[in-house]
Structure 1
Amino acid sequence: MTRDRLPPAAGDPLRQAGRRLAVAFEAFHETHYRKWLAYAHLHTGSEEAALEVTCAAYRRLRLCWPYALKQSSVDSYAWAVLKETVVDWLSANGRVTALTQSAAFAVVTRALLRECQQQFALLESQLGLYEAISRLPERQCDVIVLRHVVGYSDAQIASLLGVDEATVRSHASRGKRRLAAALGIAACPTKGK
């Protein structure tokens, strides 16, 4: 056997770099998988479709993982891949977002009820909270859904959206004010969220 046909040594830098990429991707996957699945479920309306969309998003992300790692925010880049995959799935299946029909949207109602006890007390049955949330501007809707349904913290949302935490809080506050105005109720007091 000639020297150039020998198998690479265990300490081969290319093999080590590939392993580091794989480990980083798996860590990212483990960190975000459940929340991505929840987000996909909100938009597709079914667990099966959400699984399909989430897996497709991770396949897309894996293909460009080295590029994603070079971005100023890996989370923000990956979030864009997920959102694009959701939109592609909805389009390919001739569907619109299922936000207003998703049973998981009840979580938003409960979260908002805790923050605005009396003012939001009648929303679910009388005022159409689900529809109002789906009509918010994209960033405000994303922040409300990511915070109250999916369960991301403001820091995580900021990373996903490529903005700072103050911007996340601003989107949340403006979104709540828009919801209150759309539903004809007094604005909620803000409690740092």
Structure 2
Amino acid sequence: MTYEDPLDTGGTERPSDAAAQHPALAGWSTADERSFWAFHDDRYKPFLHFAYKQLESDADAEDAADKTFDEIMNNWQRMLGMENLPGYAWSILKSRICDQRRKRDKRALPTDLSAFAAMVDGRDDFEAVHGRLQFADAIGHLSERQRDAVILRYGLELETADAAHLMGVAEATVRSFVRQARARLLQVLDIPSDDGKVKS
């Protein structure tokens, strides 16, 4: 489904008109509709870009993002009462990406390793990393949240605050995930730590 905000018409659109285009909106108040479309406009593009980094296919990434917002729309009024609505929306996106990957019978890890390479690059001994397969295997030792933080920060080149906003966590949590990911990669790849600080 391609999403267009039915309320973005200079204030002339009523909830009943919007519900005709999107039946899931039936019975919603104008305030609930506007809050949904504001959330959609804030996150659709970064969700789509994140999905592409994971799936490396425009069609699959768009399908994952659209299905994410289908599910968010269907649950929006319930989600409005949640303590961490952004975190729940992020979990929906991750599930839809996994669904797309399963449909294609792909590995659970992204094939684009550039974000992780950028996190540990710039070191004299980076050549100690012997090939993509070894590096991909090392990434498998990271937690899912660590991988998400690295892809957002280094793959999509988002600021820490923006990554935290999308994941529904605190900025300090994103910084911690990135530090932990770098330390773990250096350990698994047997690269001595320079005790340098990674920009997070």
Shorter chain as normaliser: what TM range? 0.7 to 0.9
Residue 91 of structure 1, aligned match among 98, 102, 107 = 102
Give the 3-state SS of the residue equivalent to 2:158 in structure 1: coil
Structure 1 gap segments, 5+ residues each = 1-9
- Establish whether residue 79 from structure 1 lines up as the match of residue 86 from structure 2: no
Q: Is the Cα–Cα contact under 8 Å of residues 109 and 124 in structure 1 kept in the other structure?
A: no
Q: How many residues align?
A: 178
Q: 1:143 aligns with which of 137, 142, 149?
A: 149
Q: 1:133 aligns with which of 127, 133, 139?
A: 139
Greater Rg, structure 1 or structure 2?
1
SS in 1 for 2:193: coil
Question: CA separation in 1, counterparts of 2:109 and 2:50?
Answer: 11
Q: Which residue of 2 aligns with 1:6?
A: none
Letter paired with 1:172: V
User: Is the Cα–Cα contact under 8 Å of residues 186 and 192 in structure 2 kept in the other structure?
Assistant: yes
The answer for the alignment partner of 1:44 in structure 2 is 55
**Aligned partner of 2:38 among 27, 46, 63:** 27
Shift in Å, 1:59: 0.9
Q: Which AA in structure 2 matches 1:53?
A: A
- Report if the CA contact (8 A) 1:134-1:141 is conserved: no
In the alignment, the residues of structure 2 paired with residue 117 and residue 127 of structure 1 have an alpha-carbon distance, to the nearest angstrom, of 20
- Amino acid across the alignment from 2:197: T
Describe the shift of the 1:64–1:171 C-alpha distance in structure 2 as closer, same or farther (beyond 3 A): same
* Larger CA deviation: 117-126 vs 31-40: 117-126
Report deviation, 1:79: 0.3
What stretches of structure 1 move > 6 A for 4+ residues in a row? Answer: 12-15
SS in 2 for 1:184: coil
183, 188, 192: which is aligned to 1:182?
A: 188
Q: Which amino acid aligns with 1:138?
A: E
Q: What do residues 123-170 of structure 1 show as CA deviations (whole Å, max 9, x unaligned)?
A: 485784344224312221121112111333323333444443222222
Instruction: Give, in angstroms, the shift of residue 46 of structure 1.
Output: 1.2
Q: Does 1:18 align with 2:24?
A: no
Cα distance in 1 for residues equivalent to 2:161 and 2:193: 24
In the aligned structure 2, how far is the partner of 1:14 from the partner of 1:48? 31
Select 1:68's aligned residue among 76, 79, 84.
Answer: 79
Do the aligned partners of 1:176 and 1:187 also contact (CA within 8 Å) in 2? no
Identity of matched residues, %: 25
Q: 2:24: which partner in 1? A: none
Unaligned runs of 5+ in 2: 1-11, 18-27
Q: For the residues of structure 2 that align with 1:151 and 1:72, how far apart are their CA atoms?
A: 28
Alpha-carbon separation, structure 2, partners of 1:85 and 1:25: 19
